[in-house]
Amino acid sequence: MFRSIAAPRHALSVIALICIGLPVLAQDSENGQSIYMGYCALCHGPQATGSGITTLPGIDAPDLTVIAQANEGVFPAGEVAQQIDGRDPIAAHGADRAMPVFGGYFEGDKGVALRMPSGQSMMVSKPMADLVAWLESVQK
C-alpha cells in the first residue's frame, strides 16, 4: 500500500519559478570579446587600451582596462552597460542622437540579469551582458 507524500508548498513554488523561466545570470566573456572586436576595437583598440585606429575629432577613446582602477577597484558593470547602450549617454557613442550608435544591436531581449557590485541585477540583452563580462575580464 502506497502513502501519498505531499511536497511542501515552498518546494512547489521553487519548481514553478524554475519552470516559468528565470533570467539568465551567466555571461559569456568569449562571445563578449567577439562583440568587442566588432563594435569597439576600432576606437578603443584590440586590447581595449584606447589605441584604436578610428577616433572622433577632439575625443580620445579611453583605456577600458582601467575602469575598475578608476572606481576604487570595483568594476561598475551597470554604469558601463548604461554608457554603451545610451541610458547614460556619452558623446562619442551618439549622445546627441535619439538612439546611440550601438542601440539597435544591444537593445534586444532584456532577459539577462547583469550582476552589479551592489549585488542587485540590471536586465540587459545577452550581447550586452557578454560584452560587459569581457570588459570586466580585461581589467588591470
Q: Is 26 left (phi over 0), alpha (psi -120 to 50) or beta?
A: beta
pLDDT of 95 reads 57
Q: What is the rounded end-to-end Cα distance, in angstroms, of the chain?
A: 65
d(CA 131, CA 31): 7
Residue 57 to residues 36, 48, 61, 135, Cα–Cα distance (Å): 22, 19, 11, 25
Residues of the chain below pLDDT 70: 1-26, 55-57, 89-101, 103
Residue 105: phi and psi, rounded to 5, are -75, -40
- In the chain, the amino acid numbered 117 is P
Domains and CATH numbers, the chain: 26-54+63-137 (1.10.760)
- How far is the C-alpha of 58 from the C-alpha of 2, rounded, in Å? 79
Nearest-angstrom CA–CA distance, 3 and 72: 59
β strands within the chain, DSSP E:
112-115, 121-124
Predicted confidence at residue 25, as pLDDT, reads 47
- The tens digit of pLDDT for each residue in 2-38 reads 444 444 444 444 433 333 333 444 679 999 999 999 9
Output the pTM of the full model.
0.73
What is the pLDDT, as a whole number, of residue 93? 62
pLDDT on residue 105: 77
Which pLDDT value is given to residue 35? Answer: 94
Contact 104, 86 (CB under 8 A): no
